[in-house]
């Protein structure tokens, strides 16, 4: 690239385009829905809020910084914040009528929602190596702010190795024993060309 084309004001934009081309995209971690009773006084969650709740002892000492994560504060409503837009619509009896009126939702259906606004908080991490640290901090933030974890399910760990089960250890030992038995049988044959039996996991094959 031409050094003359290096514009300091475009470096950040060029870095983002480079990440997209190399498929180094931000990783989605988890999300939670803000409780209805918290909506009137709810404030946007910042990266500093989540980073302040990190637990290094559970994240194998990985340190999380505000620049390592991205918080998306998502709002979904019916275009009138927390109000029902149909309550502000006038109806007429027919095409020739000039008398307008409202229709109470109770007369339409008892299945209509009571809440017309939803807020979600989503977490993304820039560096895969800090995925687990961000996940732990995000869930800890929910416990401190709401008293409980609001997300539907815990995030499966990415970088913390899961303990091996007893069955996995047993299978590994069995495979190792079979391999050692095959090697020992080959050494006893002394390289002679004769009919031998191979021991496999499926049985004995001539």
Asked if the model's pLDDT at residue 156 lies above 60, the reply is: yes
CA 86 to chain centre: 35
> Could you tell me the maximum CA-CA distance found in the chain, to the nearest angstrom?
106
CB 77 within 8 A of CB 134: no
Q: Which residue has the higher pLDDT, 17 or 199?
A: 17
Which strand (E) or helix (H) includes residue 65? none
Task: Indicate the pLDDT class of residue 155, thresholds 50, 70 and 90.
Answer: confident
Asked if the model's pLDDT at residue 38 lies above 70, the reply is: yes
Name the DSSP class of 63.
-
- For residues 109-119, give the mean pLDDT: 91
The predicted-structure confidence for 59-108, as pLDDT tens digits, reads as follows 888 899 999 999 999 999 999 988 999 999 999 999 999 999 999 988 88
d(CA 117, CA 82): 5
This prediction's pTM: 0.67
- For residues 10-20, give the mean pLDDT: 89
CB 77 within 8 A of CB 118: yes
- List the beta strands (DSSP E) in 24-163: 27-33, 69-77, 91-92, 100-101, 117-125
Provide the pLDDT for residue 152: 87
Residue 34: partners with Cβ closer than 8 Å, 6 or more residues away: 42, 118, 119, 120, 121, 150
Provide the pLDDT for residue 179: 61
Provide the pLDDT for residue 145: 94
For the record, the structure tokens of 118 come out as: 């939803």
Asked if the model's pLDDT at residue 181 lies above 80, the reply is: no
- Average confidence score pLDDT of the chain: 82
Residue 72: partners with Cβ closer than 8 Å, 6 or more residues away: 120, 121, 122, 123, 124
Provide the pLDDT for residue 3: 56
d(CA 21, CA 11): 15
Pairing of strands 198-200, 91-92: unpaired
CB 26 within 8 A of CB 70: yes
Give the SS3 label for residue 130: helix
């Amino acid at each position: 690239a031409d050094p003359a084309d290096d514009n300091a004001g475009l470096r950040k934009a060029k870095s983002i385009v480079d990440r997209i081309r190399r498929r180094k995209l931000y990783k989605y971690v988890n999300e939670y829905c803000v409780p209805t009773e918290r909506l009137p006084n709810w404030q946007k969650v910042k990266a500093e809020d989540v980073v302040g709740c990190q637990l290094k002892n559970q994240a194998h000492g990985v340190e999380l910084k505000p620049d390592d994560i991205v918080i998306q504060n998502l709002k979904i409503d019916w275009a009138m914040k927390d109000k029902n837009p149909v309550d502000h619509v006038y109806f007429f009896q027919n095409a020739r009528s000039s008398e307008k009126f409202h229709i109470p939702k109770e007369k339409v259906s008892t299945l209509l929602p009571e809440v017309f606004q939803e807020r979600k908080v989503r977490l993304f991490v820039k560096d895969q190596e800090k995925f687990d640290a961000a996940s732990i901090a995000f869930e800890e933030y929910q416990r401190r702010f709401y008293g409980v974890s609001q997300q539907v399910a815990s995030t499966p760990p990415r970088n913390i190795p899961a303990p091996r089960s007893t069955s996995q250890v047993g299978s590994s030992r069995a495979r190792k024993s079979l391999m050692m038995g095959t090697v020992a049988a080959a050494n006893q044959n002394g390289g002679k060309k004769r009919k031998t039996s191979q021991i496999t996991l499926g049985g004995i094959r001539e």
